Each structure stands twice: as structure tokens, then as C-alpha cells.
Amino acid sequence: MGIIKTEKLSYEYIRRDDEGNVSGVTRAVDDVSIDVTQGEFIAILGHNGSGKSTLAKHINAILTPSEGEIWVDGINTAEAARIWDVRQKAGMVFQNPDNQIIGQLVEEDVGFGPENLGVPTDQIWERVEESLKLLGMLEYSKHSPNKLSGGQKQRVSIAGVLAMHPKCIIFDEPTAMLDPHGRREVVRAARALNDVEKITIVLITHYMEETIYADRLFVMDHGRIAMEGTPKEIFSQVEKLEELRLGVPQATKVAYELKKAGMPIPDGILTRQELREALKACL
Amino acid sequence: MSMTLEHVNCIYSADTNHSVHALKDICLTIGDGEFIGLIGHTGCGKSTLVQHLNGLISPTDGHIYYNGEDINAKDFNRKELRGNVGLVFQYPEHQLFENDVFADVCFGPKNLGLDKKEVELRAYEALHSVGFPDEEFYSSPFELSGGQKRRVAIAGVLAMKPKILILDEPTAGLDPQGREDILELISDLHRNENMTIILVSHSMDDVADYAERLIVMDHGSILYDDVPQEVFKNVRELERMGLAVPEVTYIMRSLKRNGYEVDDTITKIDDAVEQILKLWSEK
């Protein structure tokens, strides 16, 4: 069993009217079975309302399945008594950094997680230092988080999760509010944690460019897994992605249009370097 | 219907030891029917600037004229100004509050003091112009998808019939198709109603595709103010500021560096494809 495993997981949001009677049911996640290996970097794509975030919230037990099951590092998240174990193993970084920062100083904010886990004080400070160092934020440890840029705030949020020593970090659209530089900082941090610390990464995003280094992509639609494969396999299917209200990276789009016009360009080009090499071969 | 800023300065917490000089001597004219992209890294003063344009913040120093009248003069009708200069904030769907969609859109024009008939007519027109389906007029705004909610929020501003529409990151958090839908909608308003548009964005690809004029801010000053093609020639400077140029511009630059005769100031995918195909056919 991998670090995250779901078995026919479904989740229903139930709407009620003023009297508390059920007025509607939305099946946000529908019969999803996935198995993620420890150390993998996976990305989940899908249009708004496709069920990505609902699925992600199951991984650290914010939600528990209506039907089916999910195990995080072997623990069934439906076991209420072990909910804190699950949350220590799987940390979550959200979209808006301002909603998840609570400390007066950067180092206090990062220490909040391990403090809640009951880690002894001296070890908390060790963890804070080590996490901030990894995210390149150590020099800001005595700063107020309010004065940081968006990308820096988001790195502080990630350090806060990291200080809990998780095996897995889920990023739910961590770059939606950031400028290009901030976006690069956050994606680079996620890749480094995966490469160096072997932490399993689950990245949810609407920016196709951010997913090209993932080991595996999942595309969701109507709560189901509509596509699964390596970035190359997924982004070769431009038309299918557009049907699912998604796009492809710009380099892939250019390659696709050129190929359609008759140029001999290979499928699945993801970066501008790959495109340049492909063009050199035929120009 | 022009707007002119003359030597506008804004200092937050002036006279304290943590004062922030957010706008520095801004001089700017916004003409009738322009489509302007406003870019800059987080904290560069973009949002402060747009809040000056409809009088939410008064300049510490300097003047802002709307049709020749100083908007911060004592006898100026600022309520009317806020009808004429519509501001759509980031994540505007967080400001939806009424029981149904229609009532929410009516709120703006109602506050302008119009009679009921006119208010409802405007709300109806606004919802139509954003492509919102009739049969959902009386649904709760909270049960809509992210993209739909944002349409409703934009309709709420359109119902005030603004001459200038300012949108602060209108596509943040939307999927690629949703992003395109909203941008097409804005572009239609600009084309068909000759509305002046100011689009604040972190997405270089979006502004390159839609804006006719690009204003780049850095540390409270305007650094560039030109057509997108000219602005995106300053690759190094833009990157230093935490910005970037569109991915296709990077592609064309790298082709040119490799000795191919292409225009490296191209900012749109279609133009790039056309040039590469031309190169290929001439080979």
C-alpha cells in the first residue's frame, strides 16, 4: 500500500432547506481509486467544480468519505481517534497565504504546528530553524509575516507544515494569488522538498506549466478521474484537455498548432527547450 | 470621459516611523475606450492606484481629474463617480450576500438612488451581458460554481453602468476555460460598449492577449507605459522586478538566439505559429 490509497472513494455534499430537509445532493467525488507511492510528485488538474479540492481535503481528514475508504500511510482516516496522526503525516498548504498565517513573527508561525503536536520546546525551535532554512526564509525568522511578499508568505506557510515532519504535503492551488516570481518560488520549493527530503507532493493547480515536472498527473471531471498518466502522455492529448475545460502549456500549444499545419514535430513537448530542439531538427 | 492623474503621491501611515510611500509622483492620462493592462509584483502599488481612481483613497498629495473635475474637491459628487468608475475587487464573489442572484445585482444601482424599474432593468441587462442564464436568476449566489459567482459579481458592478471598468485579478483561481470566458466577456464590453478597461493582472499571457496598452509599476512608480510589444522587450528588467514575459516571447527569443530570422517581440501564440510556419515553408 502506498502513502495515499483510496478505494472507490465518493463524497456527497448535502444541501438542506430552512427546515433541514434534504433539498439536493451533489456528488463531488465519485468512485475514485488511486494509489500514490511514497516519494512521488503527483499533480491533480481539473476545471472549477471538478472535485479536486474535495478529494484533497480527504487526504488530511478535513473530510471523510461518504462511501469507500482512504488510507494515509496505512491509517484509515475514518478512525476518529487517529485523526491527528493523519494530519501530522499529511500537511496542507492553501491558496491564500493570509488565511493561514497566525503568528506575530515568522518563527512563531512556523512553530505553531509542532507546538500543537506536543513537541518539546527545544525540539520545536530546532524544527523551526531547519524548516525555515530549507525554504530559504531563515533570515526572516524575526520578521512580521505581514510585511513579506506573497511568495515569501507562502513559503512561510510551507515551512509551518514542514515543521510537523509530514510524509506528504498537499498544495491546493498555492500559486493562484501570486505574481510570476512568487509562483516560481513556491513551485521550486515543492520540487526541492520532493527531491531532497523525499516528501510526497500532491499539487493541485490551474497553471499547466507548473505540472510538467510531476511524476504523474490526474485529470478530474465530474468527480471522477478522467485521465491519468505522465505529463507527456497527458499533454499530448490537447483536444481532450480542451474538452475538459483545460489548456496545455504555451510551448505545447505552439508545437500542437505547428504539427496540425503539417510540420514534423513530435508529440508531448512540454518546455520551450524541448520545442527549440524540435524546431532545430526541422528548420 | 478621460481620467488624469497629476503628481499623485500616497503615503500610508504618514508621520510615523513605519510610513510606506505607496505611490510616488504618478502622472497618467487614461483616455476614452482604452484597454489597459496594469502589472507589477505583489506590493508594487497597483491596488493602491486603482483605489484612487474611484475615490476610495484620497491622494496624500497631487490631484486626480475626471472629465476635468478634481474628484477630491469638496463639492464633487463622489457617489456618481463610483457609478461611473466601477471597481471589481479580487475574489469579488466573496462580496455576494443577497438571497438570490437578481437581488445581489440590484444592490449597486439601488444605492445610486434609481427607481425600482430602472434598477431591475439594469440588473437584467447586466446579467444578460455576462451571459448568465435566465433560469438561475433566483438561485442562491452561494450555490453557483466559482466562474458563475464571479460573473454575478461583475454583473453587480456593470449594473451601475460604469464608463470605466477596473478589474483586480479577475481570473485568479479560475480554470483555463473560465479564465478565457471572463477575458472574452471583458473584451466584448470594451469592443461593443466602448467601455474603458483597466485590467490588473499577474498573468503576462492574459495581458499580452488582450490589452492595448501596458502600464508596469515598480515600488510605487510607473516604470513602463507603452504597447505590450514594446514593454515585453525589457525582459531583463521585468524579471528583476519579479515579472516575466509571455512564454511564447521566450520561445521566439531563444529561436532568434539560435540564428533563426524571427521577430522576438511576438507576444501571441497565433503570430508565433505563423512566423515559424513561414520559416519552414521558405526552407
pLDDT at A171: 95
Residues A186-234: tens digit of each pLDDT: 999 999 999 999 999 999 999 999 999 999 999 999 999 999 999 999 9
Q: Are B10 and B28 in contact (CB under 8 A)?
A: no
Cβ separation A208–B176 shorter than 8 A: yes
Contact B202 A179 (CB under 8 A): yes
- Interface contacts (A, B; CB < 8 Å): 117
- Mean predicted lDDT score pLDDT of chain A: 92
Contacts of A242 in chain B (CB under 8 A): 177
Say which of B177, B254, B272 has its CB closest to residue A47: B177
Percent of chain B clearing pLDDT 90 (strictly above) = 72
CA distance B73 to chain A (A): 33
Check: CB of residue B235 under 8 Å from CB of residue B253: yes
Question: Does residue B273 fall inside a structural domain?
Answer: yes
Q: Is residue B262 a part of any domain in this protein? A: yes
pLDDT digits 0-9 by tens, A76-95: 999 999 999 999 999 999 98
Whether B280 has its CB under 8 Å from any CB of chain A: the answer is: yes
**Residues in chain A closer than 8 A to B247 (CB atoms):** 209, 249-251, 272
Grid coordinates of B128: 444578460
Give the pLDDT mean for B242-263. 92
Closest residue in B to A24 (Cα) is: B143
Give the containing element (helix H, strand E) for A9: strand A4-16
pLDDT of the residue at A151: 85
Do residues B173 and B95 make contact, with C-beta atoms less than 8 angstroms apart? no
B65 compared with B148, residue with greater pLDDT: B65
Taking an 8 Å cut-off on Cβ atoms, the answer to whether A246 and B176 are in contact is yes
Residues from chain A that touch B254, judged by Cβ atoms under 8 A, are 272-273, 276
CA-based nearest distance A262→chain B, Å = 9
Does the residue B43 lie in any domain? no
SS3 percent helix, strand, coil of chain B, rounded to 5, is 45, 20, 35
Distance in angstroms (rounded) separating the CA atoms of residues B104 and A103: 36
HSE value, Cβ hemisphere, 13 Å, CA-based, for A64: 11
Which segment, A45-49, A272-276, B34-38, B148-152, is predicted with the most confidence on average? B34-38
- For residue A182, which residues of chain B lie inside 8 Å, CB to CB? 41-42, 242
Question: Any idea where the domains of chain A sit in the sequence?
Answer: 4-248
Residue B118 within any structural domain of the chain? no
Kindly indicate the confidence band of residue A278, based on its pLDDT and cuts at 50, 70 and 90: very high
Which of A142-151, B70-79, B154-163, B271-280 comes out lowest in average pLDDT? A142-151
Burial class (CB in 10 A: 0-12, 13-18, 19+), A92: buried
Minimal Cα distance from B256: which residue of A?
Answer: A276
Domain that holds residue B266: 246-283
Query: Closest Cα of chain A to B266: distance in Å?
Result: 13
Tell me, what's the pLDDT at A20?
Answer: 82
Residue B1 has pLDDT above 80, yes or no: no
Total domains present in chain B: 1
Least confident span in A78-87, A146-155, B161-170, B199-208: A146-155
Q: Are strands A224-229 and B3-12 parallel, antiparallel or unpaired?
A: unpaired
- Kindly state the cell numbers that stand for B28: 497618467
Q: Look-up: residue for cell 474603458?
A: B196
Contact status of B101 with chain A (Cβ, < 8 Å): no
pLDDT tens-digit profile of A115-150? 998 999 999 999 999 999 998 899 999 999 888 888
Distance CA B71, CA B52 (A): 10
Whole-angstrom CA distances from A146 to A10, A103, A154 are: 39, 10, 12
Is the model's pLDDT at A266 over the cut of 70?
Answer: yes
On the question of pLDDT at B38 being above 70, the answer is yes
Alpha helix stretches (DSSP H) within A163-179: none
Residue B281 lies in a domain: yes
Residue A107 has pLDDT above 80, yes or no: yes
Grid coordinates representing B212? 492595448
The pTM for the full model equals 0.87
- Establish if B275 belongs to a structural domain: yes
Residue B173: pLDDT band by 50, 70, 90 thresholds?
confident
Please state the rounded mean pLDDT for residues B263-283. 92
Q: Do B247 and A178 touch (CB under 8 A)?
A: no
Which residues are A171's β-sheet partners?
A93, A203
CA distance B34 to B199: 11
Superfamily of domain A4-248 in CATH is P-loop containing nucleotide triphosphate hydrolases (3.40.50.300)
Q: What's the number of CA atoms in the CB half-sphere (13 Å) around residue A23? A: 9
How far apart are the CA of A49 and the nearest CA of chain B, in angstroms? 6
Measured in degrees and rounded to the nearest 5, phi and psi for residue A13 equal -90, 130
Lookup result for grid cell 461593443:
B192
Cα–Cα distance for residue pair A149/A181, rounded to 1 Å = 10
**In degrees rounded to 5, what are phi and psi of residue A199?**
-80, 135
Provide the 8-state DSSP code for B245: -
The answer, for B74 touching chain A at a CB cutoff of 8 Å, is: no
